């Protein structure tokens, strides 16, 4: 196809295209292995558009067409339309509040008839472009807090909207934009502060306020004791410590409870708490008993279900052993034991059918893809391309890492897909566009200077 | 870059942890994703010596239910057929849902009786799809005989599973419990097949794992051919009805058992199919002990049938010759206190056997024991015991019928224990010389003794199974091919023993055992017996073989408490010999005899008394009381059941009883009953109390 067309193929990074094609093929095989039963006819099922693997095949064909179009496009278009497309993306996300369809508890889908589109998913592309555009502005000085705030706003606006729609998993993906920002000169202090804040937030959710307040006081006192000489020399350190201590205490004691009680709706608070695996301590105890009971039950059910998912996922992967059970021979896969196996838990079929070597090989493929993108990023002459490449690498990395950590039980259940492997038109489309824009930008790196 | 690489390393490490280093996920996956389905092969069929199937397979049905499909079924009609009310119905469904889940089939009613099956079959269209009938193979007994020999199947229990760990049994499997089913379990069982199925998240079997690559096919059990003659067995059981006792008939030339009757017995059908638990409890508590196989599992004093062997030992030890005579003036005075003898006169071996002369055999044994060849009474007695052991007494013969007992032949150890070393001599145990006292045998051993005499010096270990189709894979039959020649005794000596035994039939005590046109050699015995000092009516004993030349059948009969042997045991033996040799009973007179004997009721009155008592008390009360007194255990030990198969059945009775809060009866009647029950247990420890008088 596009290999034979010199006009499109010129300057294209074939390694990327191969990696992309291999991963999508692996994905198709995995979805096939999840759904296929010996009674099915292979050819009819593949062409029938009834089974998920058949649908995925058609999505793939659609993606190839789209990819060809992207490669035929002038790469200037992406820079030119970055801001507009971002706005369109945001508009789409907002549109879901009106015309959204609820699927699996989150109202973040727009039904298109032949498929359901998740704008937040697509918004990753637009945000990447917009961020790249913003950071590549000629008079950009990213050390200025103002720039940093705008960059953060661009990155996290879709995430915030997404959380409001109940789609926390995808919202988390937007944190991956911190990595390109870091590459572009965001002081590491931010990352450290961010990480510390995250720890603080999670801690405030996990432990009771009193315990944390005491812990902060003790930590502060110990720090002051060990650094008492330096503190004698300069008061600044002492002030710093005390202000951090004060901030933490206020955050834990006032901000968090206030936010959860008054800002978030109860179900949102519940979701956030269930993500870290505890009950919502701020749940309204005054609501009517029956409602509360039902609520408790539902919550219990959800948590049971998540435990079940992870357990089944671990069983499937663990039972694969070193060599795996062989393609289409996985008993767990064939027995439908793993829920959502064709989407978020697609990795389990790799783990079961192909075992440790297969899983490791897949990991190496992803690692190869990411490192290839980074190496492409570093050879770009334009900041736009570089930032964009970093965005793509970070998004893919975040998806892969979180998804696989979920399936092997290293992370709480967060519903995000495994790039290029998981069943789903939105996901495949998004990653195809992300990658092929990058490939196009890379192909034009010699010609266009921005 | 480092962050990325680090993350991947962590993921790969966790993958290694899950997939390589922890095995629990594989086990969990196999547990939930695979199902090991056991395919039970048909059990082997058992044939008698004339190739009639006497134990085969039959199909009966279980009523299965899938609870989530019950809605819409005509419950009322179903309840009427099953004879339950709708409340019980709902309760049962709920129980099954709890036990087995909604979507999976459970057994609603197991092993349907024929009538229920017929009614259900007709109305089944009303109950689908919630209910359906499922075949279940069970054993069937085409002849209503030989229940004690063939045995039955029952569900394996934990003890069985423990002792048969590596043979692939699972809870819920059936295994042979007694008789042939138990001894030849390995042969009859065949080889189970195992199919591995894939199972999905709703616990449904979807398809075979890898197209049956790991499956093993079931191989049907091997058929067996018994030496048993089922017609003879039926005939014998008919003759023995209403009597307590046993008959064993052996083909002397092969050692094959022709008939093995223990009376009272039970219909083999009783312990298979729908009501087996109920029947089992009844049989277990019956004071006449129908579950006891009296042919191998009960010990009796051999009485006069023992005398022939005494004679042989005497001749072998050369303390007498066939012409040696002893005179009997009416009693044996060799030990001071006289031992009575009914036929005074001067007897040689032949005459002594014919007239069953106590004095003669007392003298013979006295000579054997006091033989100067041996340094002490100890050694001569032990030598004597060795001979007796060689004849097959005092140890298990090794027949393939389970629960065989060894009987006992006294040795010096026996008497040292009772009287102390040096405190005994021949006179202490002179009653042994005439088959009383410390000598105890099984009926099988007596029959075998007859086979030995018939063959003039050899016997083959008695056995049921002649051949197994497809070969003796477990070499279980090897012992049944070998001739045993205990002592090297001249044929002429046997001739004189035979003469003596023929004399019994012609003019002696065994006239009633004559068979028209057949020369029978026999020996009667009437054995005194006393329980707890209360003298009971004598046991009637008769042992014989026929025809004298080219013997084809050796037989031993005992009728407990039947009194004089000539009227019961001897005619039974005679009729059975005729039946076997001529295939039918000829002549009006003989047929009248059959009728008379089979109608003869010789059940000891005490058993009736006990039965009445049991009936008069509430059955439930009774069994609870018996359990509390350890009676059940005694019965089980006696019968030789090694596992608590029916414990739950009895538990149920017990629970019923507890719910009624009835106190166990404490009157003296019950104590008496228990004593009496003990009294008919054959391994009762007797006090060494010489019983000197033996008639005939």
pLDDT in tens, B388-413: 998 889 888 888 888 888 888 988 88
Q: CA A280: distance to chain centroid?
A: 24
Residue with tokens 């993906």: A173
Structural contact between residues B483 and B416, judged by C-beta atoms closer than 8 angstroms: no
- State the average pLDDT over residues A334-360: 87
Stretch among A125-129, A304-308, B459-463 having the lowest mean pLDDT: A304-308
Looking at per-residue pLDDT, the higher value among A430 and B618 belongs to A430
- Closest-CA distance, B79 to chain A, in angstroms, reads 37
pLDDT at A397: 92
- The answer on pLDDT for B677 being more than 50 is no
pLDDT at A362: 93
Count of CB atoms within 10 A of residue A323's CB?
12
Structural contact between residues B442 and B407, judged by C-beta atoms closer than 8 angstroms: yes
Query: Confidence class of residue B633 from pLDDT cuts 50, 70 and 90?
Result: low
- State the average pLDDT over residues B216-236: 89
- The answer on pLDDT for B676 being more than 70 is no
> Searching chain B, which residue's CA lies closest to the CA of residue A359?
B15
Does the distance separating the beta carbons of B24 and A331 come in below 8 Å?
no
Contacts of A356 in chain B (CB under 8 A): 15-16, 19-20
Query: Confidence class of residue B247 from pLDDT cuts 50, 70 and 90?
Result: very high
Structural contact between residues B515 and B581, judged by C-beta atoms closer than 8 angstroms: yes
- State the average pLDDT over residues B296-320: 86
Residues in B lying within 8 Å of A, measured between beta carbons: 1, 3-5, 7-8, 10-12, 14-16, 18-20, 22, 24-26, 28-30, 32-34, 198-201, 206-207, 209-210
- Closest-CA distance, A90 to chain B, in angstroms, reads 29
Query: Confidence class of residue A3 from pLDDT cuts 50, 70 and 90?
Result: very low
The per-residue pLDDT of chain B, averaged, comes to 79
pLDDT at B590: 85
Phi-psi region of B394 (alpha: psi -120 to 50; beta: other; left: phi over 0): left
Domains and CATH numbers, chain B: 33-52+145-224 (3.90.1310.10), 59-142 (3.90.1310.10), 303-599 (3.40.710.10)
The per-residue pLDDT of chain A, averaged, comes to 82
Query: Confidence class of residue B646 from pLDDT cuts 50, 70 and 90?
Result: very low
Does the distance separating the beta carbons of B11 and A363 come in below 8 Å?
yes
Give the tokens for residue B516. 């028209």
Q: CA A52: distance to chain centroid?
A: 23
* % of chain B with per-residue pLDDT over 90: 7
Q: Which residues contact B317 (CB under 8 A, 6 or more apart)?
A: B367, B368, B371, B373, B383
How big is the CA angle at B323 (ends B303 and B508), to the nearest 5 degrees? 45
Structural contact between residues B533 and B296, judged by C-beta atoms closer than 8 angstroms: no
- The answer on pLDDT for B514 being more than 50 is yes
What's the CA gap between A435 and A71, in Å, rounded? 11
Looking at per-residue pLDDT, the higher value among A374 and B133 belongs to A374
Residues in A lying within 8 Å of B, measured between beta carbons: 37-38, 179, 314-322, 329, 331-332, 334-337, 351-352, 355-356, 359-360, 363, 366-367, 370-371, 374, 393, 397, 401, 404-405, 408-410
Residue with tokens 């004993």: B541
Query: Which H helix or E strand runs over B388?
Result: helix B377-390
Does the distance separating the beta carbons of A38 and B207 come in below 8 Å?
yes
Give me the residues paired with residue B331 across strands: B340
Structural contact between residues B689 and B419, judged by C-beta atoms closer than 8 angstroms: no
pLDDT at B678: 33
Looking at per-residue pLDDT, the higher value among A206 and B260 belongs to B260
- The answer on pLDDT for B318 being more than 80 is yes
Residue B84 backbone dihedrals phi, psi, to 5 degrees = -130, 165
Q: Measured on CA atoms in the order A133, A134, A140, A143, is the torsion positive or negative?
A: negative
Residue pLDDT, tens place only, A84-105: 999 999 998 888 888 877 776 6
- The answer on pLDDT for A294 being more than 60 is no
Any idea what DSSP says for residue B56?
Answer: E
Stretch among A143-147, A203-207, B432-436 having the lowest mean pLDDT: A203-207
Query: Confidence class of residue B437 from pLDDT cuts 50, 70 and 90?
Result: confident
Question: Where do the domains of chain A lie?
Answer: 11-185+308-443, 209-280
Looking at per-residue pLDDT, the higher value among A146 and B639 belongs to A146
* % of chain A with per-residue pLDDT over 90: 22
Closest CA to B253 of B401, B452, B388: B452
Distances (CA, A) of A152 to A135, A140, A147, A175: 11, 14, 8, 10
> Searching chain B, which residue's CA lies closest to the CA of residue A364?
B8
- Closest-CA distance, B35 to chain A, in angstroms, reads 10
Contacts of B208 in chain A (CB under 8 A): none
**Of the ranges A333-342, B496-505, B655-664, which is most confident?**
B496-505
What's the CA gap between A4 and A7, in Å, rounded? 9
- The answer on pLDDT for A391 being more than 90 is yes
Give me the residues paired with residue B523 across strands: B543
**Nearest by CB to B11, which of A370, A371, A404?**
A404
pLDDT at A87: 93
Query: Which H helix or E strand runs over B339?
Result: strand B339-340
- State the average pLDDT over residues A278-305: 57
- State the average pLDDT over residues A109-126: 83
Residue pLDDT, tens place only, B115-132: 888 888 888 888 877 888
- State the average pLDDT over residues A221-235: 80
Does the distance separating the beta carbons of B200 and A367 come in below 8 Å?
no
Give the tokens for residue A450. 């921005």
Taking the CA of residue B202 as centre, how many other CA atoms within 13 Å lie in the half-sphere pointing to its CB?
6
Stretch among B94-108, B293-307, B458-472 having the lowest mean pLDDT: B94-108
- The answer on pLDDT for B654 being more than 70 is no
Query: Which H helix or E strand runs over B262?
Result: strand B257-263
Distances (CA, A) of B217 to A288, B169, B175, B191: 62, 16, 20, 8
What's the CA gap between B166 and B483, in Å, rounded? 35
Distances (CA, A) of B517 to A76, B455, B504, B577, B595: 126, 21, 16, 11, 21
Give the tokens for residue B93. 């469904």
Residue B246 backbone dihedrals phi, psi, to 5 degrees = -155, 155
Query: Which H helix or E strand runs over A256?
Result: helix A256-258
What's the CA gap between A136 and A133, in Å, rounded? 5
- State the average pLDDT over residues A8-13: 76
ipTM of the complex: 0.72
Stretch among A11-25, A309-323, B10-24, B679-693 having the lowest mean pLDDT: B679-693
- State the average pLDDT over residues B550-564: 87
- The answer on pLDDT for B583 being more than 60 is yes
pLDDT at B617: 56
- State the average pLDDT over residues A362-387: 91
Stretch among A170-179, A208-217, B489-498 having the lowest mean pLDDT: A208-217
- State the average pLDDT over residues A138-147: 82
- The answer on pLDDT for A162 being more than 80 is yes
pLDDT at B669: 39
- State the average pLDDT over residues A49-75: 89
Distances (CA, A) of A382 to A132, A135, A448, B279: 10, 11, 8, 95
Give the tokens for residue A406. 């979920």
pLDDT at A250: 82
Distances (CA, A) of A303 to A277, A299, A316, A413, B144: 8, 6, 20, 10, 63
Best mutation site among A315, A325, A398, A409 for testing chain B: the one with the most B CBs within 10 Å? A315
pLDDT at A295: 58
> Searching chain A, which residue's CA lies closest to the CA of residue B207?
A38
Give the tokens for residue B593. 């005899």
Looking at per-residue pLDDT, the higher value among A21 and A239 belongs to A21
- State the average pLDDT over residues B569-593: 87
- State the average pLDDT over residues B62-71: 82
Taking the CA of residue A375 as centre, how many other CA atoms within 13 Å lie in the half-sphere pointing to its CB?
9
What's the CA gap between A59 and A57, in Å, rounded? 5
Residue pLDDT, tens place only, A174-203: 888 888 888 888 777 777 777 777 777 777
Query: Confidence class of residue B670 from pLDDT cuts 50, 70 and 90?
Result: very low
**Nearest by CB to A329, which of B8, B22, B210?**
B210
What's the CA gap between B436 and B439, in Å, rounded? 6
């Amino acid at each position: 196809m596009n290999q034979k067309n010199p006009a499109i193929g010129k300057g294209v990074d074939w390694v990327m295209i191969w990696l992309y094609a291999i991963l999508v093929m692996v994905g198709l095989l995995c979805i096939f292995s999840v759904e296929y039963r010996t009674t099915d006819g292979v050819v009819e099922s593949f062409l029938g558009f009834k089974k998920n693997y058949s649908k995925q095949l058609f999505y793939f064909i659609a993606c190839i067409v789209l990819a060809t179009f992207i490669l035929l496009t002038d790469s200037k278009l992406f820079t030119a339309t970055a801001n507009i497309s971002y706005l369109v993306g945001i508009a789409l996300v907002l549109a879901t509040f009106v015309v959204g369809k609820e699927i699996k508890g989150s109202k973040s889908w727009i039904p298109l008839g032949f498929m359901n589109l998740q704008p937040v998913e697509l918004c990753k592309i637009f945000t990447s472009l917009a961020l790249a555009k913003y950071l590549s502005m000629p008079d950009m000085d990213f050390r200025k807090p103002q720039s940093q705030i705008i960059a953060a706003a661009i990155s996290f606006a879709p995430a915030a909207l997404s959380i409001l729609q109940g789609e926390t998993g995808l919202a988390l993906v937007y944190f991956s934009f911190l990595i390109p920002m870091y590459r572009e000169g965001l002081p590491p202090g931010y990352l450290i502060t961010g990480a510390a804040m995250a720890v603080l937030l999670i801690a405030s959710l996990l432990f009771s306020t009193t315990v944390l307040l005491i812990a902060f006081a003790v930590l502060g006192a110990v720090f002051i004791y060990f650094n008492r000489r330096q503190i004698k020399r300069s008061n600044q350190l002492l002030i710093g410590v005390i202000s951090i201590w004060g901030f933490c205490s206020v955050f834990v004691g006032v901000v968090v409870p206030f936010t959860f009680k008054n800002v978030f709706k109860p179900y949102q608070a519940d979701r956030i708490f269930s993500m870290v695996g505890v009950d919502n301590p701020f749940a309204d105890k005054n609501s009517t008993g029956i409602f509360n009971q039902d609520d408790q039950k539902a919550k219990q059910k959800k948590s049971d279900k998540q435990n079940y998912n992870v357990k089944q996922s671990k069983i499937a992967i663990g039972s694969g052993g070193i060599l795996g059970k062989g393609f289409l021979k996985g008993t767990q896969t064939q027995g439908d034991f793993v829920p959502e196996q064709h989407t978020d838990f697609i990795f389990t079929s790799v783990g079961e059918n192909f075992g440790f070597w297969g899983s490791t090989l897949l990991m190496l493929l992803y690692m190869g893809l990411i490192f290839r993108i980074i190496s492409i990023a570093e050879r770009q002459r334009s900041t736009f391309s570089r930032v964009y490449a970093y965005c793509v690498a970070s998004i893919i990395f975040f998806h892969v890492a979180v998804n696989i950590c979920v399936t092997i039980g290293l992370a709480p259940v967060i519903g995000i897909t495994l790039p290029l492997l998981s069943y789903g038109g939105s996901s495949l489309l998004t990653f195809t566009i992300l990658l092929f824009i990058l490939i196009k930008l890379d192909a034009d790196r010699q010609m266009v200077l921005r | 870059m480092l962050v990325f690489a680090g993350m991947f390393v962590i993921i790969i490490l966790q993958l290694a942890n899950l997939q390589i280093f922890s095995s629990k996920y594989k086990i969990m996956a196999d547990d939930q994703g695979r199902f090991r389905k056991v395919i039970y092969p048909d059990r082997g069929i058992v044939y008698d010596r004339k190739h009639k199937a006497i134990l085969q397979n039959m199909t009966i049905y279980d009523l299965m239910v899938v609870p989530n499909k019950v809605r819409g079924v005509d419950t009322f009609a179903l309840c009427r057929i099953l004879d339950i009310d709708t409340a019980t119905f709902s309760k049962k469904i709920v129980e099954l849902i709890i036990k087995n889940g909604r979507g999976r089939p459970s057994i609603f009613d197991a092993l349907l009786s024929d009538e229920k099956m017929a009614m259900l079959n007709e109305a089944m269209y009303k109950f689908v799809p919630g209910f359906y009938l499922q075949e279940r193979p069970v054993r069937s007994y085409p002849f209503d005989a030989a229940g004690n020999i063939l045995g039955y199947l029952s569900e394996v229990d934990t003890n069985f599973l423990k002792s048969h760990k590596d043979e692939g049994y699972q809870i819920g499997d059936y295994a042979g419990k007694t008789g042939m089913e138990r001894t030849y379990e390995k042969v009859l069982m065949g080889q189970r097949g195992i199919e591995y199925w894939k199972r999905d998240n709703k616990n449904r079997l979807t398809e075979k794992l890898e197209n049956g690559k790991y499956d093993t096919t079931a191989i049907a059990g091997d058929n067996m051919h018994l030496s048993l003659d089922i017609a003879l067995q039926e005939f014998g059981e008919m003759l023995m009805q209403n009597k307590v006792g046993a008959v064993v008939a052996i083909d002397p030339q092969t050692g094959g058992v022709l008939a093995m009757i223990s009376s009272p017995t039970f219909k083999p059908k009783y312990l298979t199919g729908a009501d087996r638990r109920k029947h089992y409890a009844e049989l277990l508590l019956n004071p006449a002990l129908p579950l006891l196989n009296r042919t191998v599992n009960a010990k009796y004093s051999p009485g006069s049938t023992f005398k022939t062997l005494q004679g042989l030992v005497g001749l072998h030890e050369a303390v007498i010759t066939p012409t040696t005579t002893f005179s009997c003036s009416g009693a044996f005075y060799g030990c001071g206190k006289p031992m009575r003898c009914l036929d005074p006169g001067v007897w040689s071996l032949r005459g002594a056997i014919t007239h069953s002369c106590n004095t003669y055999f007392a003298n013979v044994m006295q000579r054997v024991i006091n033989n100067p060849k041996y340094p002490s009474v100890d050694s001569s007695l032990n030598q004597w015991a060795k001979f007796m052991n060689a004849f097959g007494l005092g140890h298990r013969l090794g027949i393939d019928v389970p629960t065989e007992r060894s009987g006992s032949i006294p040795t010096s150890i026996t008497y040292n224990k009772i009287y102390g070393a040096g405190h005994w001599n021949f006179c202490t145990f002179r009653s042994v010389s005439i088959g009383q006292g410390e000598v105890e045998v099984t009926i099988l051993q007596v029959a075998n003794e007859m086979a030995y005499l018939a063959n003039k010096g050899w016997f083959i270990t008695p056995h049921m199974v002649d051949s197994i189709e497809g070969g003796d894979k477990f070499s279980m039959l090897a012992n049944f091919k070998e001739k045993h020649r205990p002592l090297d005794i001249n044929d002429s000596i046997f001739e004189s023993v035979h003469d003596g035994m023929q004399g019994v039939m012609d003019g002696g005590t065994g006239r009633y055992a004559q068979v028209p046109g057949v020369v029978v050699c026999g020996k009667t015995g009437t054995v005194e017996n006393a329980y707890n000092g209360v003298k009971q009516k004598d046991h009637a004993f008769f042992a014989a073989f026929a025809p004298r030349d080219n013997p084809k059948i050796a037989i031993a009969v005992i009728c407990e408490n039947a009194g004089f042997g000539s009227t019961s045991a001897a005619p039974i033996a005679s009729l059975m010999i005729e039946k076997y040799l001529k295939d039918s009973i000829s002549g009006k007179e003989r047929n009248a005899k059959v009728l008379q004997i089979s109608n003869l009721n010789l059940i000891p009155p005490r058993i009736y008394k006990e039965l009445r008592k049991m009936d008069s008390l509430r059955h439930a009360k009774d069994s609870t009381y018996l359990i509390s007194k350890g009676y059940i255990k005694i019965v089980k030990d006696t019968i030789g059941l090694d596992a608590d198969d029916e414990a739950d059945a009895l538990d149920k009775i017990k629970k019923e009883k507890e719910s009624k809060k009835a106190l166990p009866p404490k009157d003296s009647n019950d104590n008496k009953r228990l004593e009496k029950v003990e009294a008919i247990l054959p391994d009762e420890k007797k006090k060494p109390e010489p019983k000197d008088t033996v008639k005939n």
